[in-house]
Amino acid sequence: MTGDWERFRGMFWFDAGLGVSLDVSRLGWSPAELDAFAGPLSRAFAAMEELEAGAVANPDEGRRVGHYWLRDPDRAPTPEIAREIRETLEAVEGFAGRVLRGEIATEAGPPFARVLHCGIGGSALGPQFLSRALAPVHPPLAVDFLDNTDPDGTGRLLERIGADLPRTLVVVVSKSGGTPETRNAAEAVRAALRARGLTLPPRAVAVTGAGSALDRRAREEGWLARFPMWDYVGGRTSVCSAVGAVPALLQGIPFRELLAGARAMDALTRVPDPQRNPAALLAAAWHFATNGKGERDMVVLPYRDRLELFSRYLQQLVMESLGKERDLAGNVVHQGITVYGNKGSTDQHAYVQQLRDGVPNFFVTFLEVLDDGPHPRTEVEPGITAGDYLHGFLYGTRQALAEAGRPSLVLTLPDLSARSVGALLALFERAVGLYAVLVNVNAYHQPGVEAGKRAAAGILGLKARLLDVLAGAEPLTVEEAAAAAGADPELAFPCLRHLAANHPEVTVEGDPADPFGLRYRRK
Amino acid sequence: MTGDWERFRGMFWFDAGLGVSLDVSRLGWSPAELDAFAGPLSRAFAAMEELEAGAVANPDEGRRVGHYWLRDPDRAPTPEIAREIRETLEAVEGFAGRVLRGEIATEAGPPFARVLHCGIGGSALGPQFLSRALAPVHPPLAVDFLDNTDPDGTGRLLERIGADLPRTLVVVVSKSGGTPETRNAAEAVRAALRARGLTLPPRAVAVTGAGSALDRRAREEGWLARFPMWDYVGGRTSVCSAVGAVPALLQGIPFRELLAGARAMDALTRVPDPQRNPAALLAAAWHFATNGKGERDMVVLPYRDRLELFSRYLQQLVMESLGKERDLAGNVVHQGITVYGNKGSTDQHAYVQQLRDGVPNFFVTFLEVLDDGPHPRTEVEPGITAGDYLHGFLYGTRQALAEAGRPSLVLTLPDLSARSVGALLALFERAVGLYAVLVNVNAYHQPGVEAGKRAAAGILGLKARLLDVLAGAEPLTVEEAAAAAGADPELAFPCLRHLAANHPEVTVEGDPADPFGLRYRRK
């Protein structure tokens, strides 16, 4: 028992300025095993210093990696970059302020009443997380997100917005300016506006790379505003750029406090001493827990409703950054760490059964928030509040897992302010960067995503060819249509089914119980 | 290529009545490897037949397992059970109808305007999933969920409901009637009502086991209605009971169609032939993919916004059912299958990078919905709709994963009707039941959850003792307070921090930068 307490004290990291602490003592490692990371981490600190100084840290794409400059422009490698970061933030603040004061308003005069944010992946998850974590209960403008190309989901959201659509500010976010899901979402919004005799440009904002297709269109059509995304900021680390700032400021989230928290955490995570650097402690913990090969999943359990999207945000940050086929030397390594989780104590009723008793294929990151929040405290038993229960469940679950030999960490925030959330985001960004050096992968590209995009484009092309061959005189079976279109029948089969279900000009004949005997035709 | 097509045709399962199909051909197995499951699955079919006939299939708790009877009461083992299932559904329908018609209304006269559902785990996830998947865009009564004991989350939701609270029907769901999170949520609602000079009983509904603490209180206080949960229905399979029916019917979801879809799928998954039974195909696929030991995670990717909670629902159903320390013979096996996922194509921008290139520790379950839905179709390119893109992304991602040797399944629903969702739920319930027989575990208990509850109770007790010892003359350090309370200082430390942050009578002295030197005192 005393040994545990000594180990706890010895491994405990704490910063009085931010009020953040990290306990890695229950990971099943000894102080000596942690010390063994000193050498590898010193190389990681050096690599991170070069990255922050403007080295091309993403060699495949020939790009610098500058998300740390967003909260401390003085550290940018050139005065031009520092200036564009500062000026963009000021421009977003100015724009949001004018919208909130009604100085920028709808063409008919009334101020904007809500926001529709179109974006996917790195262009949505950060803003969604901030909205759930930090937006006031009654924000000046509520934000909805269109983060997919599902016509059912899009149609339902537009139906829900309904008569508010004319007073909805539409923010379209795509770094490349060519993301199909986001383009499709914006087109659906255009169509809904057209049906009301309205157009998109007088209510549209673009956040995109300068000169992209989206940027050009926004300029040509005269959208309300355009804000830049830069080559040196990846989508999954863009929350401190205009991507995060536009929706956050429109919701009344104090964005500069978020940046200040991130900046303070950046300073703490630059300390080149593993024991005094919480990002280094996390990176070492991940490496120890997963054997440096992703052998365990990272379960993320924040005990706070407002943090329930944090695991989805981390899922992207960690898995897209670390999930790589090759290391920087070109060796096939199949790296990565799987991340999942929702929130405590709710998840205790879903899968803590398996965590405690089942496959030991994970380590848990508990997220504790000390301040129970500003709402009236209800005693549910003499002297005991609902918050005491939440806290008891966190440490009770941790204890039950420890008894079963299941490793865990506890990260503690003092409160759920914008400052603390900024520190949280910066801590994990840095931990991912350091871990990537430990396992020698490029954390800043995503080459595997291209294969799926190419294959999807191939399927859209196949559908177009199928529509052509179905226009002949005779209805065709799957095999006949595939042969005529020069396609694999295994792919033609789902395409024909989807066409028949949704394209009214495609009809199908035959016995539904014999799916391979059906014949398709285009009227 | 032709070989793939033959394999696809040979392994393809399809039912024309439900319009559901399942493709397990891309799992990396041969027909012979699938055939090898015939023997083990025949034992699983027999066990499932006994279970449905009323055997005590949950031996640890001495309980029958009757969720299949909920949609086909004729199959219940006794006329009494059949009658209570039928009468309860009729009672819920009658109650919901009277609420919707305003015949049951607030004490002040106006009809109810919304619903607040208090429940956690099995008492919330099913209703939450149904609400997201099936509620109309403008439901007759919108439902919010209180599924935690987080005072911040509870306070924010009550603040958002605000002036609507007097017209809010409060549904409290707990099988045992003693779930602390749910009790705490209901207490917070009581307090908020009290602050408005109102009381809970005239707007409250209980769904709980007959004779539970919740049931007794609801009866004594004269709540609006009480509906039973039964011993033979576990929380994670309770969505077809009053737990699912009450919120579903209040939202205008056609609950009997859901039951009919589940009943139809139950019939299809009773077929004692692995190749003609989709639940058997799934169970065999899971066993093959995970080596019968949970060696791969199950990634669930529904390409439909309305299905984004399905993976959370499955996470509970699969992990709580299968994540077990011991098999039925008492051997230590540490079983389970990890489940995670959100929705496609959104998740492609989050972690498909890792799925394609990184750690090969998973298999994917793609969920396809053929009908793109009733909303106006927008052509985003000539002849191509947003729905074609969504479909192309599903099959493109699948192809990119297959090229990299990553296994996957595709489950296809014809549409997202209540009937199809019922079939979906029933398919996975049966697959979990069959798989549990394959690996010889009790799928219907959750012994590991108790350890966490006991430990949490211990922490609440420790807090009470700490409050006592802090009332002495001198302020105490962590170590002094722990010693005085007879507690482990590693547990006393977070308890003291949380008390100091939230209990105004607890004060702290010393240098915040020296957390182990701080002294705590109670005024």
A13-28 pLDDT, tens digit per residue, is 999 999 999 999 999 9
Report the residue from B353, B391, B490 with minimal CB separation from A323.
Answer: B353
Say yes or no: A409 and A296 in one domain.
yes
Say yes or no: B431 and B456 in one domain.
no
pLDDT tier, A1 (very low <50, low <70, confident <90, very high otherwise): very low
* C-alpha span between B454 and B458 (Å, rounded): 6
Among chain B residues, the shortest Cα distance to A334 is held by B358
Q: Active-site residue numbers of B?
A: 320, 349, 453
Say yes or no: A194 and A47 in one domain.
no
Say yes or no: A274 and A241 in one domain.
no
Would you mind telling me the total number of residues written for chain B in this entry?
523
* C-alpha span between A501 and B372 (Å, rounded): 8
* Sequence-separated (6 or more) residues with CB below 8 Å from residue A494: B368, B391, B395, B410, B412
Number of CB pairs < 8 Å for A and B?
504
Say yes or no: B33 and B128 in one domain.
no
* C-alpha span between A476 and A345 (Å, rounded): 55
Question: 10 Å Cβ neighbour count for B162?
Answer: 10
Here the CATH number for the domain that contains residue B491 is: 1.10.10.10
DSSP string, A402-471: HHTT--EEEEEES---HHHHHHHHHHHHHHHHHHHHHHT--TT--THHHHHHHHHHHHHHHHHHHHHHTT
* C-alpha span between A65 and A58 (Å, rounded): 7
Q: What pLDDT, on a 0 to 100 scale, did the predictor assign at position B351? A: 96
**Among the listed residues A417, A387, A145, the one whose alpha carbon sits nearest the alpha carbon of residue A256:** A417
Question: Residue B141 in contact with residue B100, Cβ under 8 Å?
Answer: yes
3-state helix vs strand vs coil in chain B, percent to 5 = 50, 15, 35
* C-alpha span between B31 and A443 (Å, rounded): 40
Contact A380 B502 (CB under 8 A): no
B183-232 pLDDT, tens digit per residue, is 999 999 999 999 999 999 999 999 999 999 999 999 999 999 999 999 99
Cβ-Cβ contacts under 8 Å, A399 against chain B: 452, 455, 458-459, 491
A205 in a structural domain? yes
A72 in a structural domain? no
Backbone angles phi, psi at B347, to 5 degrees: -65, -20
What is the model's pTM?
A: 0.98
B329-380 pLDDT, tens digit per residue, is 999 999 999 999 999 999 999 999 999 999 999 999 999 999 999 998 889 9
Token readout for B292 is: 């019968």
Token readout for A309 is: 């999207």
Q: What pLDDT, on a 0 to 100 scale, did the predictor assign at position B2? A: 56
Q: Active-site residue numbers of A?
A: 320, 349, 453
Among chain A residues, the shortest Cα distance to B465 is held by A383
Say yes or no: A130 and A243 in one domain.
yes
Tell me the percentage of chain B whose pLDDT exceeds 90: 97
A291-350 pLDDT, tens digit per residue, is 999 999 999 999 999 999 999 999 999 999 999 999 999 999 999 999 999 999 999 999
* C-alpha span between A245 and A70 (Å, rounded): 11
**Domain stops at, among A445, A468, A488:** A445
Say yes or no: A167 and A50 in one domain.
no
Query: Nearest CA to CA, how far is B390 from chain A (Å)?
Result: 6
Q: What pLDDT, on a 0 to 100 scale, did the predictor assign at position B207? A: 98
Say yes or no: B131 and B245 in one domain.
yes
| Number of domains present in the structure of chain B | 3
A125 in a structural domain? yes
**Whole-number Cα distances in Å, B89 to B85, B204, B249:** 6, 18, 10
Token readout for A38 is: 């000193």
B64 in a structural domain? no
* C-alpha span between B413 and A154 (Å, rounded): 19
Tell me the percentage of chain A whose pLDDT exceeds 90: 96
* C-alpha span between B466 and B29 (Å, rounded): 59
Here the CATH number for the domain that contains residue A136 is: 3.40.50.10490
B432-459 pLDDT, tens digit per residue, is 999 999 999 999 999 998 888 899 999 9
Q: What pLDDT, on a 0 to 100 scale, did the predictor assign at position B450? A: 87
Token readout for A212 is: 């992209």
Contact B393 A452 (CB under 8 A): yes
Contact B383 A516 (CB under 8 A): no
B163-179 pLDDT, tens digit per residue, is 999 999 999 999 999 99
Backbone angles phi, psi at B277, to 5 degrees: -130, 110
B69 in a structural domain? no
B489 in a structural domain? yes
* C-alpha span between B53 and A151 (Å, rounded): 43
Say yes or no: A439 and A453 in one domain.
no
* C-alpha span between A428 and A307 (Å, rounded): 14
For chain A, give the mean pLDDT: 97
| pLDDT higher than threshold 50 for residue A169 | yes
Say yes or no: A236 and A159 in one domain.
yes
Report the residue from B362, B399, B452 with minimal CB separation from A455.
Answer: B399
pLDDT tier, A219 (very low <50, low <70, confident <90, very high otherwise): very high
**Domain stops at, among A396, A416, A445:** A445
A236-281 pLDDT, tens digit per residue, is 999 999 999 999 999 999 999 999 999 999 999 999 999 999 999 9
State which H helix or E strand residue A85 sits in.
Answer: helix A79-100
Specify burial of residue A197 (Cβ count, 10 A radius: 0-12, 13-18, 19+): exposed
Question: Residue B172 in contact with residue B137, Cβ under 8 Å?
Answer: no
Average pLDDT over residues B122-145: 98
* Sequence-separated (6 or more) residues with CB below 8 Å from residue B331: none
Among chain B residues, the shortest Cα distance to A235 is held by B349
Say yes or no: B249 and B292 in one domain.
no
A347 in a structural domain? yes
Average pLDDT over residues B30-58: 96
What is the C-alpha radius of gyration for chain B, rounded to an integer number of angstroms? 26
| pLDDT higher than threshold 50 for residue B490 | yes
**Among the listed residues A437, A349, A251, the one whose alpha carbon sits nearest the alpha carbon of residue B173:** A349
Average pLDDT over residues A460-478: 96
Query: Nearest CA to CA, how far is A14 from chain B (Å)?
Result: 8
Token readout for A245 is: 């700032």
Cβ-Cβ contacts under 8 Å, B494 against chain A: 368, 391, 395, 410, 412
3-state helix vs strand vs coil in chain A, percent to 5 = 55, 15, 35
State which H helix or E strand residue B89 sits in.
Answer: helix B79-100
**Domain stops at, among A425, A445, A465:** A445
pLDDT tier, A451 (very low <50, low <70, confident <90, very high otherwise): confident
Give the range of the structural domain holding residue A396, as residue numbers without chain letter: 5-56+258-445
Query: Nearest CA to CA, how far is B520 from chain A (Å)?
Result: 16
B91 in a structural domain? yes
What is the C-alpha radius of gyration for chain A, rounded to an integer number of angstroms? 26
* C-alpha span between A181 and B48 (Å, rounded): 44
Contact B494 A368 (CB under 8 A): yes
**Among the listed residues A14, A10, A26, A9, the one whose alpha carbon sits nearest the alpha carbon of residue A285:** A26
Reported ipTM: the value is 0.97
Q: What pLDDT, on a 0 to 100 scale, did the predictor assign at position A2? A: 56
SS3 label, residue B55: coil
Q: Which amino acid is at B106?
A: T
| pLDDT higher than threshold 60 for residue B1 | no
* C-alpha span between A298 and A408 (Å, rounded): 9
A355-365 pLDDT, tens digit per residue, is 999 999 999 99
Say yes or no: B267 and B369 in one domain.
yes
pLDDT tier, A516 (very low <50, low <70, confident <90, very high otherwise): very high
Query: Nearest CA to CA, how far is A196 from chain B (Å)?
Result: 14
* C-alpha span between A311 and A169 (Å, rounded): 28
